[in-house]
């Protein structure tokens, strides 16, 4: 059976470790040392590295890991600089086969945070945790939030998030930062009367007090609490218009205003 677990790195990054028996794949290893420690402790063989985008806190450990595991395959977005010679360049609609884990992934183009950002989606399968679909989405969708627009436009990010929101509600979101509590504080400022959000805020506070990760979260929950997936709703529009002091006609305008609001929150 597949197991997915976080390897903490830096202040708030998670490097996702996917294992099946003694085979391992890691997602966005910004640092090598914590990965090498877990691989050694658990007697795992690194088979592949999955990269969602080019930022150093997602790629910085690739070279050192390849020094130790030269046969590991590296998969990365074709539209960005590849993290290592021989990396397998991926574009929207490509498939990644990880036979050592019995896992097949679909590649989704999700620009916004960076122009070439991709996500990896695993459809429902018996070996997956609880049989649910899995989404490794880097810095595009966070629990309660979304990535900053370092390279892309609000329109690109809005389209990317809409694409992820269209996945089934039980899809488990494995993003790469523990930003949930701060993100929900912003969501609460936008939607202070959202009952699902209030409940999630309480649950997240308990988890963080215990030092437990808040991730993964299901897409269905994100659609209920994450204001960046709720720009089409009248209440979110009204709150954002009140903050901006102008009328916002299109959903994309609401989203763009929400992102600006969050940047200064």
Give bridge partners of residue 76 from the DSSP assignment: 89
- 139 annotated active-site: yes
User: Does 139 show up as a binding residue in the annotation?
Assistant: yes
User: Does 188 show up as a binding residue in the annotation?
Assistant: no
> From the candidates 23, 54, 113, 117, which is the catalytic residue?
113
CB 127 within 8 A of CB 165: no
Strand order in the sheet with 95-98: 95-98, 103-109, 118-122, 134-138, 172-175, 217-218
User: Does 117 show up as a binding residue in the annotation?
Assistant: no
CB 25 within 8 A of CB 3: no
- 57 annotated active-site: yes
**How many helices (H) and strands (E) are present in the chain, helices listed first?**
9, 14
> From the candidates 23, 28, 54, 55, which is the catalytic residue?
55
Distance of alpha carbon 25 from alpha carbon 23, whole angstroms: 7
CB 120 within 8 A of CB 91: no
- 53 annotated active-site: yes
Beta-carbon-side half-sphere exposure of residue 60 (alpha carbons within 13 Å): 11
Beta-carbon-side half-sphere exposure of residue 93 (alpha carbons within 13 Å): 0
User: Does 232 show up as a binding residue in the annotation?
Assistant: no
Spell out the alpha helix ranges (H) of the chain: 33-42, 56-59, 62-68, 154-165, 180-190, 195-209, 219-225, 234-244, 251-263
Distances (CA, A) of 204 to 95, 116, 139, 140, 180: 34, 31, 19, 20, 8
Q: What is the DSSP letter of 199?
A: H
User: Does 113 show up as a binding residue in the annotation?
Assistant: yes
> From the candidates 23, 28, 54, 57, which is the catalytic residue?
57
> From the candidates 23, 28, 54, 58, which is the catalytic residue?
58
- Residue list, annotated binding site for Zn(2+): 53, 55, 57-58, 113, 139, 177
- What residues are labeled active site? 53, 55, 57-58, 113, 139, 177
């Amino acid at each position: 059976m597949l197991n997915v677990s976080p390897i903490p790195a830096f202040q708030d990054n998670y490097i996702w470790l996917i294992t099946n028996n003694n085979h391992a794949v890691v997602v966005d290893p910004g640092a090598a040392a914590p990965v090498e420690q877990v691989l050694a402790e658990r007697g795992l063989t690194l088979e592949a590295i999955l990269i969602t985008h080019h930022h150093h806190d997602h790629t910085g450990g690739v070279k050192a890991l390849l020094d130790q595991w030269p046969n590991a395959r590296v998969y990365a977005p074709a539209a960005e600089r590849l993290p290592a010679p021989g990396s397998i360049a991926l574009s929207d609609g490509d498939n990644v086969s990880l036979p050592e884990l019995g896992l097949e992934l679909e590649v989704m183009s999700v620009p916004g945070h960076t122009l070439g950002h991709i996500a990896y989606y695993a459809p429902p399968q018996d070996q997956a945790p609880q049989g649910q679909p899995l989404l490794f989405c880097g810095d595009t969708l966070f629990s309660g939030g979304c990535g900053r627009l370092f390279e892309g436009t609000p329109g690109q990010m809005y389209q990317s998030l809409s694409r992820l929101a269209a996945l089934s509600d039980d899809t488990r979101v494995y993003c790469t930062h523990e930003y949930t509590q701060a993100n929900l504080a912003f969501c609460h400022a936008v939607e202070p009367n959202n009952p699902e959000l209030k409940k999630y805020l309480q649950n997240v506070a308990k988890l963080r007090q215990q030092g437990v990760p808040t991730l993964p979260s299901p897409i269905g929950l994100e659609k209920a609490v994450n204001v960046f997936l709720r720009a089409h709703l009248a209440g979110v529009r009204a709150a954002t218009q009140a903050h901006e002091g102008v009328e916002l006609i299109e959903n994309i305008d609401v989203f763009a205003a929400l992102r600006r609001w969050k940047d200064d929150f």
